[in-house]
Amino acid sequence: MGSHVTSELRNWSGTYQFTAREVIAARTVGDVQRAVTAGGRVRAIGTRHSFNDLADNGATLVSVTGIAPDPVIDEAAGTVTVGAGTLYGALASWLQDRGWALGNLGSLPHISIAGAIATGTHGSGSRNRILSAAVAGLEYVAADGELRYADRSTPGFDGMAVGLGAFGIVVRVTLDIEPTYLVRQDAYTGLSWDRVLADTDGVLSAAYSVSLFTDWGGDSLRAAWVKRRVESAAAVVPEEFFGARRDPGPVRFIDAPADNLTVVGVAGPWSQRLPHFRLDSTPSNGDEIQSEYFVGRRQGAAALEALRRRSRRITPLLLVSEIRSTAQDRLWLSGSYGRETMAIHFTWCNRPAEVDDAAREVEAALEPFAARPHWGKVSHVTAGQAAGLYPRLGDARDLFERLDPGGRFSNHRLERLGVRTPR
Ligand SMILES: Cc1cc2nc3c(=O)[nH]c(=O)nc-3n(C[C@H](O)[C@H](O)[C@H](O)COP(=O)(O)OP(=O)(O)OC[C@H]3O[C@@H](n4cnc5c(N)ncnc54)[C@H](O)[C@@H]3O)c2cc1C
């Protein structure tokens, strides 16, 4: 077990400095159990790709990314069970090598599975639920240091998949899998706002996964990335997408190099097409701040129009925005709980004070749409607002308080948002 006292632990983008005094790099489940039984506040940390103080606690953090993945496929159940700290991209490659697949992935393969599911991370696709919805079981170190298991038959499990690290340290995760499949992604340029606003749901639902990139200005969006499941590498795709033309590439994404992106225009395994970024390359821009909001897809066009009206405030601070869709689910703290969802994401320049103001303006513009913020990104949501936005938040709090009565896994953010009881 590695343990170090830290004064300079930062999140992936460097925009948040942790206050935790100690980070324990667990190599075994026993290391995690010892860290928990040692007493005091303790919290799991993943690959630090979140943009706020959600993972922090001013005390002890435990990383499970150093525990061996040891993936095990259960063909009869259609699941894989794997170390919770494993990177999504690593599991995806391993599954692909064996003829298996996950139903979806986020844009980034470098995030840990446990960290991603804990915050309700999602990809795109109107019929694809968020990544946490594929969680069939969780093995976790509980507040008393014991190893416990929960699955879909466990009462309250719908409150645990998007668990915000609030009930224990997850050490193994069981995920639904399916036979491998091919995906072809194509970029289209010249997609007009008129077409998007006339049929937002139709555009977002036109393929297995659709991502729209925009800076909110002008008459057209920057690009649509369309990921289609195809039967063979020879599959032909349309040259047009709602009036936009297929871009043969090379395609660029914000100001990052083109070669950090997954391949466009040629079909390939799901594991190498569903993420936007390649596992073997540095992702995104890096010097950035992110925020994201989830609104009901039926109000999608109105929400987009509300933001377009504020483009003069938003665009100068923006690297890019991405608009995606997800299917509804029943996970208590999911951004897609109970409604077909449109996700509106902002990758901002690293100018914290100005971005803070702009994000508040975005939140004000989206308030009429009951926009739920992404748990792992910048937002100013209050406990009162969160309680209204997440109808099962009170149930989640009761569950977490029952599983962790002493508040060992709590922190200021969870208490501020009413997810844990203040102590
Ligand atoms: C470039 C980039 C691209 C992104 N793309 C997407 C995207 O496509 N879709 C999307 O929805 N989000 C996206 N995100 C956000 C990201 O998926 C989330 O912030 C996610 O939580 C990151 O996982 P992590 O392992 O870094 O978690 P961390 O940030 O380290 O932790 C997040 C939370 O998970 C908890 N946690 C971590 N490990 C465990 C564990 N073992 N047991 C219990 N709780 C645990 C922590 O306590 C904390 O509450 C992106 C972020 C970046 C930087």
Q: Which of 315, 316, 339 is nearest to 391 (CA)?
A: 339
44 Cα–ligand 1 center, Å: 11
52 Cα–ligand 1 center, Å: 10
The Cα 168–Cα 44 span in angstroms is 8
**Nearest atom within ligand 1 for CA of residue 107:** 8
132 Cα–ligand 1 center, Å: 11
Q: Contact 192/82 with Cβ under 8 angstroms?
A: no
State how beta strands 288-296 and 372-373 pair: antiparallel
Q: What is the DSSP letter of 52?
A: S
Q: Contact 79/174 with Cβ under 8 angstroms?
A: yes
The Cα 15–Cα 331 span in angstroms is 29
**Nearest atom within ligand 1 for CA of residue 112:** 25
55 C-beta closer than 6 A to ligand 1: yes
Q: Is the peptide bond before 250 cis (omega within 30 degrees of 0)?
A: yes
121 C-beta closer than 6 A to ligand 1: yes
The tokens 């040891």 sit on which residue?
Answer: 70
207 Cα–ligand 1 center, Å: 26
**HEC secondary structure over 122-188:** CCCCCCCCCHHHHEEEEEEECCCCCEEEEECCCCCHHHCCCCCCCCCEEEEEEEECEECCEEEEEEE
341 C-beta closer than 6 A to ligand 1: no
The tokens 């992702």 sit on which residue?
Answer: 283
State how beta strands 22-25 and 169-176 pair: unpaired
Residue 193 neighbours by CB under 8 Å, 6+ apart: 218, 219, 220, 221, 308
CA atoms within 13 A of residue 371's CA, in its CB half-sphere: 31
The tokens 């002493």 sit on which residue?
Answer: 406
Q: Which of 344, 409, 347 is nearest to 372 (CA)?
A: 344
Cβ atoms < 10 Å from Cβ of 349: 16
pTM equals 0.97
**Nearest atom within ligand 1 for CA of residue 65:** 41
**Nearest atom within ligand 1 for CA of residue 170:** 42
pLDDT for 2: 61
405 Cα–ligand 1 center, Å: 25
Best residue among 61, 88, 112, 117 to mutate for probing ligand 1, ranked by most atoms within 8 Å of CB: 112
Rounded average pLDDT per 10-residue block, the chain, 423 residues? 69 95 97 97 98 97 98 98 98 98 96 98 98 98 98 98 98 98 97 98 98 97 97 95 92 68 93 92 80 98 98 96 98 98 97 97 98 98 97 98 98 98 96
Residue 106 neighbours by CB under 8 Å, 6+ apart: 88, 116, 121, 122, 123, 131, 275
Q: Which of 372, 242, 241 is nearest to 303 (CA)?
A: 372
The Cα 12–Cα 16 span in angstroms is 9
Residue 364 neighbours by CB under 8 Å, 6+ apart: none
48 C-beta closer than 6 A to ligand 1: yes
Q: Contact 189/244 with Cβ under 8 angstroms?
A: yes
115 Cα–ligand 1 center, Å: 4
Q: Contact 243/192 with Cβ under 8 angstroms?
A: yes
